[in-house]
Copies of this chain bind each other. A is one copy, B any other.
Amino acid sequence: MIIVLKPRTSDENVKRVENMVRAKGLEVHTVKGEDLTIIGCIGDTVRVDPKLFEVDSSVEKVMHVQEPYKLVNRAFHPDDTIVDVSGVKVGGGHLALIAGPCSVESEEQVIEIAKAVKASGANMLRGGAFKPRTSPYSFQGLGLEGLEILCAAREETGLPIVTELMSPEYLEIFDEKVDLIQIGARNMQNYDLLKQLGQTKRPILLKRGLNATYEEWMMSAEYIMASGNPNVILCERGIRTFETYTRNTLDLQSIPVVRKLSHLPVVVDPSHAGGKWWLVDPMAKASIAAGADGLIIEVHNSPETALCDGAQSLKPEKYDTLLKEITGIAKAVGKEM
């Protein structure tokens, strides 16, 4: 952490600020120039809130030098983390190929889709039982009944299941039944929920919030890890920008950036990012080419009658073709399907 003092700060005030820094257990190195005095703060700065100094009347600004996260940080864990989802490995060259309907609608539907995507090469099944919807009047998901349907599809196909947890109320039942617990973009900073995820060791799929910086995203993963659950997979799903032709702007630079900042695996959701099925194919390919550790894609056997987000769902045949075509790209970037 670096504290820049205001021009012409008196020696007395410089000392005062230095003492505030030392009181937080940090070492102080002060640089005095003509116009400018800078205090370099050395030590465990992750646990010190820079805002505590910003408020001082002699302080011009406070700048972070080190990332404010530790457990998530690749600097302290240079090797790729490989997360094990009920036997399916994700990260370190292993691709998560997650597919399934946006919403769970019926057992027949889910099992049919699950069989199809498994045959194409998917290694996990997704499906929403509890759905976050902008409108209170939209279909909100089948809830626990939906969860049972997913379990039946797992029974039938052997695919581990991925579904979204919206409330701590259901954590216990998710811990028992769900293989990979998804935390949605709108709950990425629901800190109350994040803190409780240490009560399970189930892997967590943490989606990036619509307006989350890389640092905030890492901090939300840090919440989960600090609560006691080290099994976190990050998921890029687009950010909100001025462009409204697409639902969101898929930020594929996040893949190399996350791989530099963190040792955790990062997968991409091209279906929710664009909101249009014809964007899924090129963006899925681009994600793998950029080094993503997997894809989560909406597949529906009858998008026209889907209760939710049909417009962004692929038909099983298109998904099949996509996975075939991606194989060549995966090979070109050193990954096996």
* Residue pair B4, A65 in contact (C-beta under 8 Å): yes
Q: In whole angstroms, what is the CA distance A191 to B164 when docked? A: 13
A24 is an interface residue with CB less than 8 A from chain B: no
* Residue pair B282, A256 in contact (C-beta under 8 Å): yes
A222 is an interface residue with CB less than 8 A from chain B: yes
Residue of B nearest to A255 (CB): B282
Per the 8 Å Cβ criterion, residues 212-239 of A in contact with B are: 213-216, 219, 222-223, 226-227, 239
Contacts of A209 in B (CB 8 A): 211
A119 is an interface residue with CB less than 8 A from chain B: no
* Residue pair B33, A42 in contact (C-beta under 8 Å): yes
Q: So how many copies of this chain end up in the complex? A: 4
A12 is an interface residue with CB less than 8 A from chain B: no
- Neighbour of A136 across the interface among B166, B211, B222, B285, CB < 8 A: B222
Contacts of A219 in B (CB 8 A): 134-136
Q: In whole angstroms, what is the CA distance A192 to B238 when docked? A: 23
* Residue pair B55, A2 in contact (C-beta under 8 Å): no
* Residue pair A249, B253 in contact (C-beta under 8 Å): yes
Q: In whole angstroms, what is the CA distance A252 to B280 when docked? A: 12
Contacts of A137 in B (CB 8 A): 46-47, 68, 226
The prevalent SS among residues of A at the interface is mixed
Q: Which of A65, A135, A289 has the most CB of B within 10 A?
A: A289
* Residue pair A54, B253 in contact (C-beta under 8 Å): no
Contacts of A216 in B (CB 8 A): 134
Q: In whole angstroms, what is the CA distance A106 to B47 when docked? A: 22
The segment from A85-93, A174-182, A327-335 that touches chain B is A327-335
> Are A135 and B304 CB-contacts (below 8 A) given A169-B168, A245-B215?
no
Contacts of A162 in B (CB 8 A): none
Q: In whole angstroms, what is the CA distance A282 to B252 when docked? A: 9
A120 is an interface residue with CB less than 8 A from chain B: no
* Residue pair B63, A63 in contact (C-beta under 8 Å): yes
The segment from A107-115, A144-152, A271-279 that touches chain B is A271-279
- Neighbour of A33 across the interface among B27, B33, B34, B252, CB < 8 A: B27
> Are A249 and B246 CB-contacts (below 8 A) given A219-B135, A325-B332?
no
Binary B-proximity of A22-57 (CB < 8 A = 1, otherwise 0):
000001010111111010101100110101101111
Residue of B nearest to A69 (CB): B135
Per the 8 Å Cβ criterion, residues 293-311 of A in contact with B are: 303-304, 306, 308-311
Q: How far is the CB of A94 from chain B (nearest CB, A)?
A: 18
> Are A253 and B283 CB-contacts (below 8 A) given A4-B65, A46-B137?
yes
Q: In whole angstroms, what is the CA distance A273 to B33 when docked? A: 33
* Residue pair A282, B289 in contact (C-beta under 8 Å): yes
| 6 residue pairs A–B, Cβ–Cβ below 8 Å | A31-B42, A136-B191, A244-B244, A256-B278, A285-B290, A328-B329
Please name 13 further chain A to chain B contacts, defined as beta carbons within 8 Å, in addition to the given A34-B43, A168-B169, A289-B289, sorted by A numbering. Answer: A51-B310, A57-B304, A60-B65, A135-B219, A190-B190, A211-B240, A213-B244, A215-B245, A246-B257, A252-B283, A253-B274, A286-B286, A328-B329
